[in-house]
Structure 1
């Protein structure tokens, strides 16, 4: 499965902080029913065996919905579970090294915070970029909010899909109009919702407004 900007529209990034009432698998399926177009599994605490078991389960689930499944950071897990893609940050393995490990077909996403980082990632084989933080976020405390206009500069500088991430929710999502972003990546806005399926339907409609505005900007 190759990267397509349409599959970047509503990109769900998991966080088990809100599991309990439902399992992570149930939450992801709720999100898929609500129309998310891509799912990234991010796990920082699980050991490799538990991570792989969960990844295999969610990979099969996403495949049944025809939605790309991305692993955060762990290249070996991505290969073993036959994920559609791998996402790495600036402090992780370089995109060129990831490509050498995963081969030509796996989607590679890279986090970028400047035009220079974005262009280097694309030159090294990134298929899409995650750019942020768009707004203040409590999910990742080690990322600064982008200066005004930076997201558009990055979008204008590359020819791969760009996903805005960081602090995005339904009350500020439309501020991304005209930014050039091809989609939004959301964590708490999706997985902390009381009704994840309904929330995703609403968020997807808002994300479509952003993309429409970008195409006519």
Structure 2
């Protein structure tokens, strides 16, 4: 499937949002990122309840759309169907539970987190639009975790035809290396937030 408009080569993944009383600070940081050119954002929230995530997603969506950025949701998705985001992101465990592309994901973007060959092939088989593959390099968010390294990353990306964003230890300076190793682009939290 051709994605129109094409995806940018950098995907900003937000850090875990604060409690709702501090959303304004978080959203101001988001505004700064998208007003500076970030045009694809994943709103990641592992610890917010559905009501708080829904509120944050609505406000983040308005900011992203004001600056022509696309927003992909990565949180308690079933409870926020009214948010006009541009797509959804499947964590790897949820990806592997899907036998087909989720029905509500068309024409929205569908992305997924992958950490293995099996997950990459499954994502492609169910029609995911793009994936993150991680961790490529050591990262501050997951210290001490084993990494893929560039050779294994390249070998894995060669097995699929969908866009793969390298995640883990990425900075603007690693973009050219990532592209040379088969990545469509790079994704990150701290380097772009």
TM-score (normalised: structure 2): 0.83
Q: Secondary structure at the match of 1:69?
A: strand
Counterpart in 2 of 1:10? 10
Gaps of 5+ in 1: 192-217
- 1:13-68 deviation per Cα after TM superposition (whole angstroms, max 9, x unaligned): 11147997x71111111111221120111112222111101100111111122221
Paired positions, count: 189
Q: Which stretches of structure 1, 4 residues or more, deviate above 6 A after TM superposition? A: 17-20
Q: Identify the range of structure 1 (95-104 vs 119-128) with the bigger mean alpha-carbon deviation.
A: 95-104
Counterpart in 2 of 1:126? 128
Counterpart in 1 of 2:155? 153
Change (3 A) 1:128 1:57: same
Matches of 1:145 and 1:56, distance apart in 2: 34
Q: Identify the range of structure 1 (67-76 vs 93-102) with the bigger mean alpha-carbon deviation.
A: 93-102
Counterpart in 2 of 1:212? none
Question: How far did 1:171 drift?
Answer: 5.5
Q: Secondary structure at the match of 1:70?
A: strand
Q: Relative contact order (alpha carbons < 8 A, sep ≥ 6): 1 or 2 greater? A: 1
Change (3 A) 1:49 1:18: closer
Match of 2:50 among 48, 51, 65: 48
Are 1:79 and 1:102, in contact at CA under 8 Å, matched by a contact in 2? Answer: no
Counterpart in 2 of 1:81? 83
Question: How far did 1:10 drift?
Answer: 1.4
Question: How far did 1:181 drift?
Answer: 0.9
Counterpart in 2 of 1:26? 28
Change (3 A) 1:8 1:113: farther
Within a 5 Å distance, the mapping from 1:157-196 to structure 2 comes to 157-170=159-172, 172-191=174-193
Aligned Cα RMSD in Å?
A: 2.8
Are 1:9 and 1:37, in contact at CA under 8 Å, matched by a contact in 2? Answer: no
Q: Identify the range of structure 1 (130-139 vs 72-81) with the bigger mean alpha-carbon deviation.
A: 72-81
Q: Secondary structure at the match of 1:27?
A: helix
Matches of 1:177 and 1:153, distance apart in 2: 13
Q: Secondary structure at the match of 2:165?
A: strand
TM-score (normalised: structure 1): 0.75
Matches of 2:128 and 2:146, distance apart in 1: 22
